[in-house]
Amino acid sequence: KYVMMNGQLIETTKAAIPVMDHGFLYGMGLFETFRTYGGKPSLLSRHLQRLSQGCEELGIPFRAEEHKLEMLIRELLEVNGLSDGYIRYTVSAGEEILGLPSADYREPSHLIFAKELPVLDEAWYIKGKPLQLLKTMRNTPEGEIRYKSLHYMNNILAKRELMQYKRAVQSQAEGLMLTKEGHLAEGIVSNLFFITKGVLYTPELSTGILPGITRAVVLEAAGDLGIPVVKGLFTTQHLSQADEIFMTSSIQELIPITALLGFPEGEVIQVQDGKMGPNTRRLLDLYRKKAGREDVE
């Protein structure tokens, strides 16, 4: 199988990053994960905007060339025998002398991976998944904006914790992180929403969450559908009283949450009779249209 490294196709086992790359030494780099629909990257301009904004903050030179990237991704899918894929685009800071840098980086490495999309049975979108409350807390944002940086230790620790809960593993539950103040934050690789009495709620960015692209598109979709939105600080109490709950990510779109595990310890709370709620359905349908899914009416 192949990766695209600095615009060149290369066998994955032969692709290498120099040991002096500050992406490796200091985690200086960013990435985007998205999917394709019909071979076309979904919401690419938004992903490139998040990436270029982050690179600017980190002093990593980056010029977004959407059209060129789209072509490289098509080529990469083709050589890997995929019609659609899970795409990861990584920008690593590049080589520098050892020690913290006193100036901007000069030559970052660009790496694009394509792999098969996870099997997302349409049944998940109807019956939903459980959500396991985690003890691992969302750490604080790195500065004003939370970057999609190469540091994923917090998320990996959360995933490791999730793997310790037998019931959560068996039911393929999502995990939920709170802030150290006890406010709802986000999933391990997804954002959180809930709907109570027709109002859509989502944690505000100050909770340290990633400003998700799917989150942004869902908020726009809510506006289009006339669903009022409140971004703020919420607790598990709000969640356990919600009419509908769902999580969002570029790969999974909107996944309904139909049971809460560990709220509190040992208890299971059913949400929306174990089925996707009506507002979640409307938001999912509109999201899919906006994301470029062509099998949606």
Residue 159, classed as helix, strand or coil, is helix
Q: Is 189 among the residues that bind ligand PLP (CB under 6 A)?
A: yes
Q: Which of 42, 190, 202, 236 binds ligand PLP (CB under 6 A)?
A: 190
Q: Which of 174, 186, 244, 253 binds ligand PLP (CB under 6 A)?
A: 186
Between residue 141 and residue 180, which ones bind ligand PLP under the rule CB under 6 A? 155
Give the residue with the Cβ less far from ligand PLP, 213 or 219.
213
Q: To the nearest whole angstrom, how small is the minimum distance from the Cβ of residue 152 to ligand PLP?
A: 7
Amino acid at 218: V
Q: Which of 36, 132, 136, 191 binds ligand PLP (CB under 6 A)?
A: 191
Q: To the nearest whole angstrom, how small is the minimum distance from the Cβ of residue 188 to ligand PLP?
A: 7
Q: Which of 42, 249, 279, 280 binds ligand PLP (CB under 6 A)?
A: 249
Q: Read off φ and ψ for residue 250, nearest 5 degrees.
A: -60, -35
Give the residue with the Cβ less far from ligand PLP, 5 or 188.
188
Q: To the nearest whole angstrom, how small is the minimum distance from the Cβ of residue 260 to ligand PLP?
A: 19
Q: To the nearest whole angstrom, how small is the minimum distance from the Cβ of residue 102 to ligand PLP?
A: 30
Give the residue with the Cβ less far from ligand PLP, 136 or 155.
155
> Burial of 116 by CB count in 10 Å (0-12 exposed, 13-18 middle, 19+ buried)?
exposed
| CB count in 10 Å sphere of residue 105 | 23
Give the integer Cα–Cα distance in Å for 63 and 73: 17
Q: Is 253 among the residues that bind ligand PLP (CB under 6 A)?
A: no
Q: Write the binding mask 201 to 240 for ligand PLP: x where contact by CB under 6 A, - elsewhere.
A: ---------x-xxxx-------------------------
- Contacts of residue 206, defined as CB under 8 A and 6 or more positions apart, other chains included, come to 141, 233
Decide: 230 and 200 in contact? Cβ < 8 Å.
Answer: yes
Give the residue with the Cβ less far from ligand PLP, 33 or 78.
33
Return the H-helix or E-strand segment holding 131. strand 129-137
| CB count in 10 Å sphere of residue 108 | 24
Where b means 16+ CB within 10 Å and e means fewer, 199-227 reads ebbbbeeebbbbebbbbebbbebbeeeeb
Size of the site for ligand PLP (CB under 6 A): 14
Give the residue with the Cβ less far from ligand PLP, 33 or 52.
33
Q: Is 288 among the residues that bind ligand PLP (CB under 6 A)?
A: no
Residue 46, classed as helix, strand or coil, is helix
Q: To the nearest whole angstrom, how small is the minimum distance from the Cβ of residue 200 to ligand PLP?
A: 16
- Contacts of residue 142, defined as CB under 8 A and 6 or more positions apart, other chains included, come to 149, 151
Q: Write the binding mask 23 to 52 for ligand PLP: x where contact by CB under 6 A, - elsewhere.
A: ----------x-------------------
E strands in 146-227:
174-178, 184-187, 191-196, 199-203
Q: To the nearest whole angstrom, how small is the minimum distance from the Cβ of residue 8 to ligand PLP?
A: 26
Which residues of the shown chain bind ligand PLP in the complex (CB under 6 A)?
A: 33, 155, 186, 189-191, 210, 212-215, 248-250
